[in-house]
Each structure stands twice: as C-alpha cells, then as structure tokens.
A and B are shown apart, each in its own frame.
Chain A
Amino acid sequence: MAEYKRPTNEQEFEENFAQKKPLMNSTEAYYESSRCLYCYDAPCMHACPTGIDIPLFIKQIHTGNTTGAAKTIFDANWLGNACGKVCPTGVLCEGDCVYNHQDVPAIQIGRLQNYATDQVISEGKKLFEPGPDNGRKVAIIGAGPASIACACELRVMGYQVDIFEAKEKPSGLTVHGVAPYKITNEEVLAEMDFLQNQLGFHINYEQKISTPGQLQLLEGEYDALFLGVGLGPTASLRLPGEDKAQVIGAVEFIEALRMQQHKISIADRVVVIGGGNTAMDAASESARMGAEEVTLAYRRDKASMGAYDFEYKLAVSAGVKGIFNAQPLEILGNGTATGVRFIKTKTVNGKLESIPGSEFEIACDLVIKATGQAKHPHFLSMIGGLELDAKNRIQVSDSFQTTNPKYFAGGDAVNGGAEVVNAAYEGKMAAKGIEKWLNRDLN
C-alpha cells in the first residue's frame, strides 16, 4: 500500500520530496507581508533563537527593499536562508505570532524570510565583506551551521579563519541530515557558497581532526579554536542481532539518502525504531522512497514521543504506521535482518515495564535505528582540560568558552542536539566570545 512510487530519476525524487515550504512568488510575498502588524517589541522576534527583527524585514519586503530584508535577516542569523526553510517555525516565531490569539493564521515568517534571502543568494548580491585583517587566526573544527556562523562573524571582525571538515561538503547536518522535503541540497550549498564568496573563510574538506598531534599543531598556529563538531553516528541499541546486514542507523540512512537521492533503493518493508524527530524523518523518507510498508515502533506511548506532533502527522500522512508501547528485544534473521521481535510495555508509576508473554514479531527487510546520536567523548578527551557534562556535552560559559580557554564551542556538541537555528546562534555568540577573550588577553 505504498503511497509513493519508487523514484527512478531526479525529477521523481523531487516530486516525492516536494518542498513543504516552497518559495513564495512576489505576489504571495506582497500580500503575506501586508498582513504583518509591525508589533511593538514583537513576540515573534523573541521566539526566534537568533532574534531576527521580523517586523522590520517583513516591512522591508513589503516596500520592495528585498535586499535590505535579507541584510536584516543575515545580520542576526548567518544561516537565514536555511533557517527559513528548516526551522520548526510553528513552535518558534510563527507559534508566537499574535494572530494565533484570534485564530487568524500566523504570518508565514519562514517563507517570507526565505523569499528575501533566496533572492540575494540567487542574484549573488554583495551584502557583506570581511573586516580589515586584525592579524589573528582562528581554527574551526567541523563545517556545520555552528562553525559556519562562527566563521562568518569572525571574518566580519577581521579574523583569518580556517575550517577543517571531515566530509566533502559544508553545512553539516543541514545537507546531510535534514529531510529533503524541507530543503534541497542545492539550496543548502548555494547559501554556503554565497557566504563563502562574500566573506572568504577557508574550508579544508576531508580533513578529519582525530589525533592529539593534529590538535597540538592547530593550537600552536591559531589564536583560538572553535569546536563545531556536532554529534556522532547513531548510538548503539545494545540489542542482539544489531550487527546483522540491513540494520542501519537513521543518521547514516538519511545521509545516504541525501547524497545519493533516487539512486538508493529502499527495502520493501521497513521498521523504524525510535520516537524522536529523526525517527519521524527516517520513517517519512522511507515511505517517500516507495517502501511498501513502514512501521514506526516506539517503546512508550504516543504522548511521550520526543518528536513534534506535526512531524508525526507528516509521517502518518506519508503512509507510515505508528505502533506504541513496543520495546524491541531482538533483531531476527540469519546474517541479514528479516524482522524485529518486540514486547509490549506499559507505564506503571512513571516507570516503563514490559508485559510478560506479550512478545510479537514484525517481519521486515530493513531496520532503521533512530535512537539518538552518540557524542564524541573519545575525540574530545584529547583536548586537555576540556570538561564534558554527564551527558557528554561540552561545558561552556556564557560566551561559549570551554574549560580549556583556547577552545570555544557551540551547536549540537554543546546543546546536545537542537536545531540549525540554535547552532547558528551559538556559533555567532562564540565568535563574539573569542573576540572578547582575545581582546582582554591583549590588555
């Protein structure tokens, strides 16, 4: 009962993953922007982690100053274009738009934002330039949103910036992780090019930093370092049979999907294990790739899922079937996964208990584990004096300085996994922290 046909070429892939927030045309932008009330001390702006002056950029769009609108957006958020498309706006800016209180549809802030930034990006309009060289150098590890935001901010202040990235593309999970119906690879990379062309930071691709020797070299050569390493691969489930073929982590599955698109071939029957947003994405994406049967299995009840409600609904609308209170016991199969054995659970006094004798099996050809991303404790332990919290998150001060003063950090590695917009904010604030620290250092 697949709702989607298997995509066999780029066009079919794009149809199956049609953009949830397509680009507005100028007429749509004109009328939508006309509705904004220009609230005083606007609540939408407070709900944006980067604090974009939303009423201002919307008014700028309305008065035909789209370039100025884009500048307002990038001034607050270096990933303004990606954020317009991938932010969960319903729980951020749009969720706090005053119109909600009178049951009038909230202003489509994300799409308006995108309308403005897309225009300057596609025209390659010059909005920013590096500040005069201040003679200082910063090394950045990782090229995800946190790092890119940090790099842009540092360049504006006149720093030389060198980024070291393990993969061959910038933007981290924005291009490798976010669902394709939120943003296309081309859109993500166009914003990266736009920023790099204007601000000229260097990115060294396929340069994973993994030894104490490399770190020492960087520490010697640079005035400060920024860690924007995000999270690691999918964490282990510690389940018997997890090492079988056709068992894959959600992050790895999604990365393959984003990089190879229609060229990957999805199994007929897919079981996704997990209840977070990544699980919803992996399930939705499997369905959109044309899998016959996609089951999303979560060990607690529906209400306890970490995922946003709208993400679950989106998965269901793509044909995904959710089953709850199902705890996986074992991945079945002879070398290759053929199914998952579950046991039913219930919550007693807040504790999850399995119900004896309630085991059942679901046959499948692919198991996707969406049970969270591991962190990088091994790599981080190579940095002297760098303290992690109990959840292996890097500890930072208000200015995003780690416990090793030369190192600053931001993004998922610090917040434990949030949104692109949080990473963008933290990276930018870390750049300001670096400037503050180095200036005080000089005095």
Chain B
Amino acid sequence: MPDLSINFAGIKAPNPFWLASGPPTNSGYQVMKAFDAGWGGAVWKTLGVPVINVSSRYGSINYRNTRMAGFNNIELITDRQLKDNLREIEEVKKYYPNHAVIASLMVETKAEWHQIVKDVENAGADGIELNFGCPHGMCERGMGSAVGQEPGVLKTIVGWVMEVAQIPVITKLTPNISHIVDPGLAAVHGGTDALSLINTIKSIVGIDLDTYAPYPIVDGKGTNGGYCGPAVKPIAMEMIKELAKHPEIKDTPISGIGGVETWRDVVEFMLLGASSVQVCTAAMHYGFGIVREMEAGLQQFMLDKGYNTIYDFVGKALPNVTEWKHLNLKHKVVAEINSDKCIGCDLCYTACDDGAHQAIKLDRTNGNRIPEIIEENCVGCNLCALVCPVEQCITMERRDDGREQISWHERTQAGSIPTSFNDERAGGNHHFVPTVEDALKHRK
C-alpha cells in the first residue's frame, strides 16, 4: 500500500486530507469524529476576538439536479469561548497524538497575536494558520481579507507571529485580489513556513424574487458572502499554480483549498503543487464519511501509477502549464462523431452552428438525426465534444503529424508574426465563415 502520510512544513499527519477551518471543526466533538472517520488533520474554526453570528448564514447555487454546486456563507470566526476551544484542542491531542491539529487565528494587535500564539501552543496545537481571507464581516473590522488584500500589512503581521511562534505557521490567502503572487510573496518575505489557499470568494449567490433581498436573508437584508464549493475549484487551481511556479515561493509548502470533494480533485491539486488539501463544503454537504472515497481513490491512483508517497507526484503537472505564447500553433485536432453511440440530440449541431464555427451539418433525409462534421470548417475548439451527453461519442482526433512545432513566442523571435489583417500569416484568413445571406435562408 502506498504511504499517504505527510510532513507538511514540519506538521506531521497520517494523510493529506485535512478539514479546513469552518463549521466542521467548530468543536472537539466534531474533530474527534472526523479523525475516526479517516481525516488526517483539522484546521480548527478560527479563534480570535469575540463576535456575534447572524441567522441565517448560508446560501447556495443549485445547478440542474445538483445541489450546492456553489456555496456561500456570511458566518464569522468562532463564537465559542477561547478557553473552551483551547481545552478541547488539548483533549483532542491527548486522544490523537499523531493527527494534525492546526489552530486558525485572527486577531488585531501585535500584543493579541503574541498572546494567542502562545495560548494555542500551550494547548498542544501542531501548527498555526493565519486567517487573512474572510471576505465578509471581519474585514469591515480591519481583519481577514482586509489584511490579505494589503501585502504590506500582511507581511508585518506574519512577522509579528514569526517572532514568537515555536510551531509551524501557515498563511491562508484570500482570492479576492487580482494578483495572488503579491500576498503570497509578502507572506514568504514575512517568514511564513507554508501557504494555504483559497479562502472564499466575495459573492452574491442569489436574490429572492419576492423580497428582493440577497441570500442568505437576515430579516429582509443580506450582505456579500464568501463563495466556495465545487464551483470555485478552477479558480483555486489557477492560484495554486501561480504560487507553485513562482521561483521565490515554489519551495514553500502549499495546502490546497477550494472545491475539493473527490480523490480526483485531490490529485489535481497535488499535480499543481499542493502537498495537503483542505475540505470544508464537501464535509458540510456529505459529512465526514466523504473522506473514504478520497482515500480509496488516492491510494488506487498511486498504486496504478506506481507512486509510494505523494511527494512522488506533487507538482508533476506544473511543467505542462505554460503561457499561451508557448503553445504549438501547428497542432490540429478535429471533431469526430461515433455514429453508433450518437443518440441524435443534435446539441452539437446547434452548439457549433450558433456558438462556434458552423462545422456541423444536419441532413434530415429519412429522418436521420446523426450530424456530420464538416472537417474543413472545424477549428478543433472542443465545444461539440463538451456538450455531447454521450460518453466518448464525440472525440477530438489529431490531424497534424506532430513534425511541425512553432509557437507565437518562437515566431515573434523569428520576426514572423502577422502585422496586419491582410497579412497571409494572420489566423482565420482561410477559414470558412457563412455570409449574412446564409442567415436569411434560416428565416421561417
């Protein structure tokens, strides 16, 4: 069996599946249940200053038959007493000496930071996570994302913590910023041991059509919340990649957060450089048992690929994530329809004709509903294959022989880029485009 254990910036855990700071880590009761269910670590619900939470607190996006494809909350940090949390951390560590308990913290002044770091170390926490991410409520009080969005302030506070911390420190970043490298670099310069991201994205998930208030509604009003769940995974992955590729950051361990629910999500995050993952929404949706699927899947993946530890493949996709200008302009794929599998929904036809490049044709002779690709019109955009509801029915087939390779960058260097639209070298010049008159033919 592959070894799933990790040593994350000095924090040891039996596996890389950690619960992210949130409602599932609100108490010792929950964290102990989670460890029993198979989680390797837990980042405690953020400790800090006294707060008051509102009711209601959550909203979500349902997509077709899927509930909570995206999830949104306006909850603040813990509203439980600090002394109760500290006592429970101590108890959990007694029962689970080998599991990782990380205390998430958010306070304001230097003195407060120094005090709380000591408190959680005394309670036996294995690590600390600095919450610079919360995009609602706390930021109005100058904490959370208000810090995460100001690299200078962030660096200063990380510095305060590093002055006193005896245990590893993770800095959790907010995605509500246009360039994630700025706060990432600030944290590294401040001396952080590790990074984690993403916190939630500022969002409004919906408006009630009778009361005209945004969800979740608190007595007729609402506020922006933090967006998370499966919908945010692509944003999280892009930001992890940005940090993991950066020369000054790449050696800092990254804990990946944002929409992780299945073993595939875990593996993808790791391929982009994360060496632990944190999960909140999926555990809120399905309970702690969801970790069984992640664990079994990760193990099977590692067995199939012959990996012994996760470090054998962390970051393995990074060399293939490049800039657009380095992509091969000579690569050519076209769509192919497997007519044995086609069910005749004709979604590919309408998608290509209305939303792409008019490269699919319909011939209704004898009631036929199986569309046909007009290969010379196909630009290989993938749209049809993406909309096709049948598994492996439309495949993208390679048409170039792989011998020619030239990128925009290489062409720029060779001085061979188009300079006007009449330039023969410009893209799209010989591509079929229907005329305005063709549109008139479709009129009823």
Segment 254-288 of A: residues with Cβ below 8 Å from B:
none
Q: Known: A34-B65, A62-B64. Contact between A39 and B345, CB under 8 A? A: yes
Partner of A37, one of B342, B349, B369, B389: B389
User: Which secondary structure characterizes the binding site on chain A?
Assistant: helix
Partner of B347, one of A34, A35, A38, A62: A38
Nearest residue, chain A, Cβ from B344: A98
Most buried by B among A30, A34, A40, A100: A40
| A40 contacts B346, C-beta separation under 8 Å | yes
Q: How far does the alpha carbon of A31 sit from the alpha carbon of B350 in the complex, in Å?
A: 25
| B346 contacts A41, C-beta separation under 8 Å | yes
Interface presence of B285 (CB below 8 A):
no
Q: How far does the alpha carbon of A100 sit from the alpha carbon of B65 in the complex, in Å?
A: 20
Summed over the interface, the residue pairs from A and B with CB atoms below 8 Å come to a total of 35
Q: What 0/1 pattern do residues 38 to 69 of A give for CB contact below 8 A with B? A: 11110100000000000000000010000000
Most buried by A among B65, B343, B362: B343
Q: How far does the alpha carbon of A163 sit from the alpha carbon of B254 in the complex, in Å?
A: 78
Partner of A39, one of B341, B346, B362: B346
Contacts of A35 in B (CB 8 A): 65
Interface presence of A440 (CB below 8 A):
no
Interface presence of B390 (CB below 8 A):
yes
Contacts of B389 in A (CB 8 A): 37
Q: Known: A34-B64, A37-B389, A102-B390. Contact between A43 and B344, CB under 8 A? A: yes
| A39 contacts B65, C-beta separation under 8 Å | no
| A98 contacts B65, C-beta separation under 8 Å | no
Q: How far does the alpha carbon of A43 sit from the alpha carbon of B364 in the complex, in Å?
A: 12
Interface presence of A222 (CB below 8 A):
no
Q: How far does the alpha carbon of A62 sit from the alpha carbon of B65 in the complex, in Å?
A: 9
Q: How far does the alpha carbon of A199 sit from the alpha carbon of B145 in the complex, in Å?
A: 60
Contacts of B390 in A (CB 8 A): 102
Q: How far does the alpha carbon of A58 sit from the alpha carbon of B349 in the complex, in Å?
A: 21
Nearest residue, chain B, Cβ from A100: B343
Q: What 0/1 pattern do residues 345 to 365 of B give for CB contact below 8 A with A? A: 111011000000000001000
Number of B residues near A (Cβ < 8 Å) is 15
Partner of B65, one of A31, A99, A102: A31
Q: How far does the alpha carbon of A99 sit from the alpha carbon of B344 in the complex, in Å?
A: 9
Q: How far does the alpha carbon of A31 sit from the alpha carbon of B341 in the complex, in Å?
A: 25
Contacts of B350 in A (CB 8 A): 40
Task: State the Cβ distance, A307 to closest chain B Cβ, in Å.
Answer: 26
Segment 304-355 of B: residues with Cβ below 8 Å from A:
341-347, 349-350
Contacts of B345 in A (CB 8 A): 37, 39-40, 98
| A39 contacts B347, C-beta separation under 8 Å | yes
Contacts of B343 in A (CB 8 A): 98-102
Segment 233-249 of A: residues with Cβ below 8 Å from B:
none
Number of A residues near B (Cβ < 8 Å) is 16
Contacts of B344 in A (CB 8 A): 39, 43, 98, 101
Q: How far does the alpha carbon of A102 sit from the alpha carbon of B349 in the complex, in Å?
A: 19
Task: State the Cβ distance, B343 to closest chain A Cβ, in Å.
Answer: 4
| B349 contacts A40, C-beta separation under 8 Å | yes
Contacts of B369 in A (CB 8 A): 43, 98
Segment 209-251 of B: residues with Cβ below 8 Å from A:
none
Contacts of B349 in A (CB 8 A): 40
Q: How far does the alpha carbon of A31 sit from the alpha carbon of B67 in the complex, in Å?
A: 11
Segment 99-145 of A: residues with Cβ below 8 Å from B:
99-102
| B347 contacts A37, C-beta separation under 8 Å | yes
Q: How far does the alpha carbon of A30 sit from the alpha carbon of B62 in the complex, in Å?
A: 11
Task: State the Cβ distance, A42 to closest chain B Cβ, in Å.
Answer: 8
Q: How far does the alpha carbon of A40 sit from the alpha carbon of B370 in the complex, in Å?
A: 12
Contacts of A102 in B (CB 8 A): 341, 343, 390
Contacts of B362 in A (CB 8 A): 41
Nearest residue, chain B, Cβ from A104: B343
Contacts of A99 in B (CB 8 A): 343
Contacts of A37 in B (CB 8 A): 345, 347, 389
Q: How far does the alpha carbon of A31 sit from the alpha carbon of B63 in the complex, in Å?
A: 11
Task: State the Cβ distance, B137 to closest chain A Cβ, in Å.
Answer: 31
Contacts of B346 in A (CB 8 A): 39-41
| A40 contacts B347, C-beta separation under 8 Å | yes
Contacts of A101 in B (CB 8 A): 342-344
Nearest residue, chain B, Cβ from A99: B343
Q: What 0/1 pattern do residues 19 to 45 of A give for CB contact below 8 A with B? A: 000000000001100110111110100
Q: Residues on A close to B: CB < 8 A?
A: 30-31, 34-35, 37-41, 43, 62, 98-102
Q: Residues on B close to A: CB < 8 A?
A: 64-65, 341-347, 349-350, 362, 369, 389-390
Selected A-B contacts with CB under 8 Å, 25 pairs: A30-B65, A31-B65, A34-B64, A34-B65, A35-B65, A37-B345, A37-B347, A37-B389, A38-B347, A39-B345, A39-B346, A39-B347, A40-B345, A40-B349, A40-B350, A41-B362, A43-B344, A43-B369, A98-B343, A98-B344, A98-B369, A101-B344, A102-B341, A102-B343, A102-B390
List 11 additional contacts besides A40-B346, A62-B64; criterion CB under 8 Å.
A30-B65, A31-B65, A34-B65, A37-B345, A39-B346, A39-B347, A40-B350, A100-B343, A101-B343, A101-B344, A102-B390
The 9 closest A-B pairs by CB, nearest first: A34-B65, A40-B346, A40-B350, A101-B343, A98-B343, A39-B345, A34-B64, A98-B345, A37-B345
